[in-house]
Amino acid sequence: MARYDYKCSSCGNVFEIEHSMSAHPEISCPKCGLHAERMFKTYGIEFKGSGYYNTDQRGRLASSTGK
């Protein structure tokens, strides 16, 4: 089960509901009883440190000839 945030389109109340990912239930606000819509979250990704840029890549390996 996943948890989803919902926001009431009338009173603005934000609340959390748990249901399966495949379910698309009609959710009503527990405060006023009117329709609530699912809120979509975005997550920012920040790459820090070395290894994320072209200049941080290691040089080409010399081909080994077995000598």
CA pair distance 29, 10, nearest whole angstrom = 9
The answer as to whether 54 is a domain residue is: no
Q: How many CB atoms lie within 10 A of CB 29?
A: 19
Answer yes or no: is 64 within a domain.
no
Asked if residue 8 is part of any domain, the answer here is yes
pLDDT of residue 13: 96
pLDDT band at 67 (very low <50, low <70, confident <90, very high): low
> Could you report the per-residue pLDDT of 19-62, keeping only the tens digit for each?
998 998 999 999 999 999 999 877 778 777 766 666 656 666 65
Distance (Å, rounded) from C-alpha 55 to C-alpha 24?
A: 47
The tally of domains found in the chain comes to 1
The rounded distance, in Å, linking the Cα atoms of 44 and 49 is 16
Its pTM stands at 0.59
CATH of the domain at 16: 2.20.28
Residue 15 is given by DSSP the state: E
